[in-house]
Structure 1
Amino acid sequence: MATTTSTPASSSGARVRVQKFGTFLSNMVLPNIGAFIAWGLITALFIPTGWIALIGDNAFGYTLEEGYTYGFVGQLGGWEGTDSVGIVGPMITYLLPLLIGYTGGRMMYDDSTRGGVVGAIATMGAIAGASVPMFLGAMVMGPLGGWSMKKLDALWSHKIRPGFEMLVNNFSAGIWGAILAILGFVVAGPFVEQFSKLASNVVDTLVDNGLLPLTSIFIEPAKILFLNNAINQGILTPLGTTEALEEGKSILFLLEANPGPGLGLLLAFTFFGRGAAKASAPGAIIIQFIGGIHEIYFPYVLMKPKLVLAVIGGGMAGVATNVAFSSGLRSPASPGSIIAVWLSTPAGSFVGVTLSVVAATAVSFAIASFLLKLDRSTDEGDLAAATAQMEANKGKKSSVSGMLGGSAAAAGPVRSIVFACDAGMGSSAMGASVLRRKIQQAGHGDVTVVNKAISSLDDSYDLVVTHQDLTDRARQRTPSAMHVSVDNFMGSPRYDEIVEMLGTSSGTAVADEAPAAAAADVLSRDSIVLGGSARTRDDAIAEAGQLLVAAGAVDASYVEAMHEREKSVSTHMGNGLAIPHGTNEAKGAIRRSALSFVRYDQGIDWNGKQADFVVGIAGAGDDHLALLRSLAMVFADESQVARLRAATTADEVLAVLDGVTV
């Protein structure tokens, strides 16, 4: 949630796509960081150059001198000369990639264990088909397994005879998993192995020619724009882990995680900053350096963009120091806390890693101090606005922004919220209903929530909520408002963040509803179909549209406008509901407000999401909004959705919709 200026659609879209890709990769890796840490600790302790061997304790019988048994430590570490492979190699070869593959498959199958299992099976094929750790292979085969299993299950959904569900489900997962495992073995494993070797050669070339510090020119700004996950989780972590297996450490783990650049910047603000920035910097140091939450310093750079030179310089100094001392980490340091960095540092790299943090801090502090002292302007900078910009870059509320005074609430009290969509007759009305209900239940009676078409927006609202594909257009019409992007109108977690942002208040909820209307006023029994014949999204739009035409509510040209509307932004609302409707320009083809209701027992693939209910909308005025609000409440309640699934007559559908209070 943030107040932001409008940006060109192309650059903003590219940035968002990279952010999404990076977030997707990090969502596979970060839940399993505990396993990486466990592997790193075991490696640090039990390999021949680990801490126990360095200390030397013959009671464990691990001495490297010829003639001694390696004993317990050697067995765990899989030392050469023992009859054990240990647990270091198997963990990085099998455990870590399988965890990533399982997580990726589960993510792509709506958090289903079934998707995770097939993703892990597919990943196993890639593991067996390569001689390097298959982290990149897991990031490909895991999601592929979950996504493809979901698509296959949709083909025979609701077609399995009762009593055969378990048989079909188990064998389909087993058969498809086996096919994907073979595909991973034959294609993914060898391909990713060659890619890993090529990327490793590139890194070696940079190191050999003293060019590795230059990576900070890209990595440090990317961090501030939240674009670094794609590089860090997609390239640095997999390559670093492979290098750590071979060399016992990797410098790649420190290219992004070094806390020194941020520490130096915050120290400069502590001594030479002004106002809120100076006051908040000491507290931010604790969160950044000890807690490892680097995003706490991003607003300081966004407030004064030239300070990016300081963190770039600090990053380069840290990388150069690690190159000079040939130091690195055994495993990823996440979060980027000095504690996590030290815990991941092998014995021989402790001095180099520590000096790299010191060097990065010193250089960043020196550059930032010089730039702050050089800045003689009386403008101390707007830290609150910069924090809001940081949250806009991140795409969600920051967990640490409150201590900077830069949360969305800092921009002023929110009293008016508008939910905007392309036409203003469908998705915005339903999204506004869900959000309004949450705000009312939280007791914020002085907050109004309305819905409008983007074309009719003016810059008088405090907060604008839009589909993520429409946010840039909304910003152009409401530049001073805070903007929140959602991709699921019915159950977006952003709604809860908005309610949390509003804080505590009292009062009786305000009703911004249209006058209540019976469902039958805009949804006739003849416009309700409980067994739709369409099998594709476009056919479903046509089927819902033709019902509106048959009811005399719209001209035939309105159906084409429904297809045009779908090309710009999806009308899938989430929770199995799609509400196709015409463009704003097609309102002239509407004779009266009406809805059509079609249920598809086998589901429709709606841009990768399943739609079981399709509601066609024609809104001439506001008389259809009450029913849309009823629909929103129904589809936010699983028990009501179950009643719609079980309905056998049009009257039962109307009874469900009329029975919901909005």
Structure 2
Amino acid sequence: MTSKLQRIGRFLSRMVMPNISAFIAWGIITTLFNPDGWFPSTAMNMLVVPLMIYALPSLVAYAGGQHIYGHKGGIIAVVGTMGVIIGTQTPMFVGAMIMGPISAYLLKRVDGMLKRHTPIGFEMLMSNFTAGVLGTIMIILGYVMIGPIIGHLNALFKLGVDFAVSRSLLFLAAIFIEPGKVLFLNNAINHGILTPLGLQQSLAKGDAIFFLLETNPGPGIGILAAYWVNGRGSAKLTAPGALIIHALGGIHEIYFPYVMMYPVLFVSVIIGGLVGDFIFQLFDSGLVAMASPGSLLAILALAPKNKLFGILLGIIGSSVASFLSAGLLIARRESWEMPDHDEMAFETDIFKGYQGNYEIAKIVFACDAGMGSSAMGASLLQKMLRASGVNVLIENVSLDDIPEDASAIITFNDLLPCARQAVPGALYIGIKDFLDRAYYEALIDALLKRCHFKEVTMNHQVPDQILMKSNIILDKASVSKEEAIRYAGQLLVESGYVEANYIEGMLAREEKFTTFIGNGVAIPHGENAVKDSIIASGIVVVQYPNGIDFGSGNIAKLVIGIAGKGNEHLQILSNVAEAIEEDELLNQMLRTKNPDTIYDIFAAEGMLAQ
């Protein structure tokens, strides 16, 4: 059940989290220019309502649609959601979370059914026409039926919320919120439930207590402070650093292991949450927008000036309550040590079912959002592996974005059931604390004993060919645009053409301008900021018979990754353009089952030797 809730919560949070900067911008405008703000301005305050009603729900819808069907899914998600928005004239965040994904899913299914019946040369026409017709249907459906239904459901739900608020019972939500956070439902609770409620309340009264219920760092501060004062051993030593990261960095996941290692501390986080939320409610505290991450700095930045005292008092109160209760419980514990990590236990667990050595080309750290805790873990393991003489590629991603070429996947124990569905055959490693050095030491010993690591770069030899036959990959199954670019970039890395950070430059380049050049061909390459990471000029060719959606109905069946050293970039692009200029040669490359065919075509353009 927890795994299913985590999966649903991740999907909901994926619609909100990519747009956090927009929500923060809206919150800053509200904080500065509303009648009770720091710089009251009637003219500037007129921005608040249109942003809330139209812009923010549209962004949420786009993110949901894009997750399901790329850029095209995002566009129709916005179109369908506009019907819901206009049909109610109230903040339709719940409507966006429903209408956006449904619209994108329907378009994906319709395109899939029509694709095999579309004549050659009419793909773009049919694609755009289908999306236009379905978009028309969805916006009318949203305006006439779905919008009013969601509006009525919102009204009923609001009655329940108002009942709890009017009777000063809202603080009791901490009984469910605080343990839910520790079970890694924090993003689901915050972005899937509390954010839509908070946005509506903020529009009505200028701020919302809902933005404080999950983001309050007080309970976690109290737990970590109690370990610092009353704990012993590694738990005591690691608590101060974790407290700073939690309070100022807003990475709440860092205190979850300290609760999990002594589950009676669930009582302490609940007590801290109850006290903090009661004080927030008593002083009518609230933020103007969500604070994400939930750090003290972010909370104070989004606090109305007349609510600062109540907010600070609530955070302090929850910290003290959690600290006192946790201190009493920890003082009675016989051992404060983090559990010992046994190298043999690692071998028995993660290598179960594997005979001999296992090759690792990429290690992936995955967490719910793919940012805070996994980024710290990836950085720490990278440093420790390099100290052991290993320079393997390590990435941090969200659970939903685990790449198919991951060799080993590390995530929190409670998230392992969700992660295991990503890459069959990979090594799956559960962890309690992304900053546990003792764990990494035992893990590295086990991996060095049983694994062969594929180095990130081939510093011993610079490739002497721009295109190698091993980098012509045929008949690849369709994936997302981002995954296709990462795969091409990884081929460039593994062949020694570029350093690992070139891949991020390729993705950043694609966000600014599409690299789809027509005729079913895309040529992803890095932006200027990563030119220094190019070791030697090179290209890789990946054939996707069923195509990759590069947005706006552009389907690429040939993805050619490019890295040009010095001034060779434009020359390589020119040679690629000439190679695909002739329809006959292009059709051969799109349909061939023999890599020699593509190799010979590029050889004729003089693209093999450096």
**Would the TM-score normalized by the shorter structure come out above 0.5?**
yes
1:93 is matched with which residue: 53, 57, 61? 53
For 2:381 and 2:324, locate their aligned partners in 1 and report how far apart those are by CA, in whole Å.
Answer: 26
Residue number in structure 1 paired with 2:27: 40
1:241 is matched with which residue: 193, 199, 219? 199
After TM superposition, give the deviation of residue 185 of structure 1 in Å.
1.1
Tell me the SS of whatever aligns to 2:214. helix
For 2:14 and 2:82, locate their aligned partners in 1 and report how far apart those are by CA, in whole Å.
Answer: 20
Matched letter for residue 591 of structure 2: A
Residue number in structure 2 paired with 1:117: 75
Per-residue CA distance 1:495-519 (angstroms, 9 max, x = gap): xx9x9986997999599xxxxxxxx
CA gap of 1:22–1:317, structure 2 versus 1, over 3 A, is same
8 A contact 1:327–1:348 mirrored in 2: no
CA gap of 1:358–1:400, structure 2 versus 1, over 3 A, is farther
1:253 is matched with which residue: 211, 225, 245? 211
8 A contact 1:644–1:653 mirrored in 2: no
Residue number in structure 2 paired with 1:149: 107
Matched letter for residue 175 of structure 1: V
8 A contact 1:98–1:124 mirrored in 2: yes
8 A contact 1:225–1:393 mirrored in 2: no
Residue number in structure 2 paired with 1:646: 591
Residue number in structure 1 paired with 2:353: none
After TM superposition, give the deviation of residue 655 of structure 1 in Å.
9.1
Matched letter for residue 76 of structure 1: M
CA gap of 1:279–1:168, structure 2 versus 1, over 3 A, is same
Residue number in structure 2 paired with 1:380: 337
Q: What does 1:63-82 correspond to in 2, within 5 Å?
A: 73-77=41-45
Matched letter for residue 262 of structure 2: K
Residue number in structure 1 paired with 2:422: 487
For 2:426 and 2:328, locate their aligned partners in 1 and report how far apart those are by CA, in whole Å.
Answer: 48
Residue number in structure 1 paired with 2:185: 227
Residue number in structure 2 paired with 1:592: none
2:273 is matched with which residue: 307, 315, 320? 315
Tell me the SS of whatever aligns to 1:227. helix
After TM superposition, give the deviation of residue 320 of structure 1 in Å.
0.3
Q: Please tell me whether Structure 1 or Structure 2 has the larger radius of gyration of its CA atoms.
A: 1
For 1:405 and 1:601, locate their aligned partners in 2 and report how far apart those are by CA, in whole Å.
Answer: 40
Tell me the SS of whatever aligns to 2:285. coil
Per-residue CA distance 1:404-447 (angstroms, 9 max, x = gap): 9999x99xx9x9xxxxxxxxxxxxxxx9x9667xxxxxxxxxxx
8 A contact 2:187–2:368 mirrored in 1: no
For 2:594 and 2:49, locate their aligned partners in 1 and report how far apart those are by CA, in whole Å.
Answer: 59
Matched letter for residue 212 of structure 1: L
2:65 is matched with which residue: 97, 102, 105? 105
TM-score, length-scaled by structure 1: 0.57
1:297 is matched with which residue: 243, 255, 266? 255
Per-residue CA distance 1:201-252 (angstroms, 9 max, x = gap): 2122112222212111111111011123333222210011001000001101
Tell me the SS of whatever aligns to 2:420. strand
Residue number in structure 2 paired with 1:191: 149
CA gap of 1:185–1:337, structure 2 versus 1, over 3 A, is same
Q: What does 1:149-548 correspond to in 2, within 5 Å?
A: 149-375=107-333, 377-378=334-335, 380-382=337-339, 398-399=373-374, 402=377, 485-489=420-424
For 1:508 and 1:297, locate their aligned partners in 2 and report how far apart those are by CA, in whole Å.
Answer: 31
For 2:223 and 2:375, locate their aligned partners in 1 and report how far apart those are by CA, in whole Å.
Answer: 17
Instruction: Name stretches of at least 5 consecutive residues in structure 1 with no aligned partner.
Output: 1-13, 54-72, 78-85, 416-430, 437-462, 473-482, 512-529, 531-599, 604-611, 613-641, 657-662
CA gap of 1:259–1:395, structure 2 versus 1, over 3 A, is closer
8 A contact 2:409–2:426 mirrored in 1: no
Matched letter for residue 42 of structure 2: G
For 1:322 and 1:104, locate their aligned partners in 2 and report how far apart those are by CA, in whole Å.
Answer: 32
CA gap of 1:404–1:366, structure 2 versus 1, over 3 A, is farther
CA gap of 1:179–1:493, structure 2 versus 1, over 3 A, is farther
CA gap of 1:23–1:646, structure 2 versus 1, over 3 A, is same
Tell me the SS of whatever aligns to 1:160. coil
Q: What does 1:520-599 correspond to in 2, within 5 Å?
A: none
Tell me the SS of whatever aligns to 2:287. coil
For 1:284 and 1:42, locate their aligned partners in 2 and report how far apart those are by CA, in whole Å.
Answer: 32
8 A contact 1:296–1:400 mirrored in 2: no
Identity score, percent = 40
2:11 is matched with which residue: 21, 24, 27? 24
Tell me the SS of whatever aligns to 1:330. coil
8 A contact 1:327–1:349 mirrored in 2: yes
CA gap of 1:362–1:145, structure 2 versus 1, over 3 A, is same
CA gap of 1:160–1:247, structure 2 versus 1, over 3 A, is same
Per-residue CA distance 1:23-74 (angstroms, 9 max, x = gap): 0011110110111111111111112222113xxxxxxxxxxxxxxxxxxx32
CA gap of 1:342–1:484, structure 2 versus 1, over 3 A, is closer
Residue number in structure 2 paired with 1:419: none
8 A contact 1:299–1:383 mirrored in 2: no
For 1:148 and 1:202, locate their aligned partners in 2 and report how far apart those are by CA, in whole Å.
Answer: 33
Matched letter for residue 117 of structure 2: K
Matched letter for residue 49 of structure 2: G
8 A contact 1:125–1:184 mirrored in 2: yes
Tell me the SS of whatever aligns to 1:257. coil
CA gap of 1:395–1:257, structure 2 versus 1, over 3 A, is closer
After TM superposition, give the deviation of residue 267 of structure 1 in Å.
0.7
For 2:419 and 2:78, locate their aligned partners in 1 and report how far apart those are by CA, in whole Å.
Answer: 35
Matched letter for residue 221 of structure 1: P
8 A contact 2:61–2:74 mirrored in 1: yes
CA gap of 1:166–1:464, structure 2 versus 1, over 3 A, is closer
For 1:393 and 1:435, locate their aligned partners in 2 and report how far apart those are by CA, in whole Å.
Answer: 15
After TM superposition, give the deviation of residue 644 of structure 1 in Å.
9.6
CA gap of 1:189–1:42, structure 2 versus 1, over 3 A, is same
Residue number in structure 2 paired with 1:137: 95
For 1:27 and 1:601, locate their aligned partners in 2 and report how far apart those are by CA, in whole Å.
Answer: 29
8 A contact 2:232–2:336 mirrored in 1: no
Residue number in structure 1 paired with 2:602: none
Matched letter for residue 312 of structure 1: I
For 1:383 and 1:395, locate their aligned partners in 2 and report how far apart those are by CA, in whole Å.
Answer: 28
8 A contact 1:126–1:184 mirrored in 2: yes
**Residue correspondences, number:** 429
Tell me the SS of whatever aligns to 1:52. coil
After TM superposition, give the deviation of residue 166 of structure 1 in Å.
2.7
For 2:427 and 2:150, locate their aligned partners in 1 and report how far apart those are by CA, in whole Å.
Answer: 36
- Tell which deviates more after alignment, 37-46 or 153-162: 153-162
Q: Does 1:49 align with 2:24?
A: no
Per-residue CA distance 1:128-174 (angstroms, 9 max, x = gap): 11132000000011111111111111122143334333322222111
For 1:464 and 1:393, locate their aligned partners in 2 and report how far apart those are by CA, in whole Å.
Answer: 10
Matched letter for residue 420 of structure 2: S
For 1:362 and 1:489, locate their aligned partners in 2 and report how far apart those are by CA, in whole Å.
Answer: 46
Tell me the SS of whatever aligns to 2:16. helix
CA gap of 1:643–1:493, structure 2 versus 1, over 3 A, is farther
